[in-house]
Amino acid sequence: MPAARQTSPRVTVDQAFGRVLRALRMQQGLSQEALGLATESGRTFISQLERGERGASLKTLFRLAPHLGFTPAEIVKLVEEERPS
């Protein structure tokens, strides 16, 4: 009987978005609290997004993008690059 194949866990879209969000937020020198206040989202929501526990809606993406210095399309591209197929 062949040994079971080990597969590496796939990065979910929410996890990839969280990684990108955290990197861009830090690049802008923003705390989770500052970004949460600026986007009227709250620190807890930003934290949940960054940990991949919550998914970002299109509305959220458009609200976050200007504060991160990127367009929504540029952020989506970064998420695609973070999550290899």
The one-letter amino acid code at 65 reads: A
Kindly report the pTM of this predicted structure. Answer: 0.87
- pLDDT surpassing 60 at residue 7: no
Q: pLDDT at position 83, please?
A: 85
Closest Cα partner for 47 from 12, 13, 80, 18? Answer: 18
| pLDDT tens for each residue of 37-60 | 999 999 999 999 999 999 999 999
- Any residues with CB less than 8 A from the CB of 53 and at least 6 apart, and which? 14
What structural domains does the chain harbor? 20-82 (1.10.260.40)
Interhelix angle 58-68/72-82, nearest 10 degrees = 100
Q: What is the pLDDT of residue 10?
A: 86
In angstroms, the CA 35 to CA 64 distance is 8
Examine the pLDDT at 5 and tell me if it is beyond 90: no
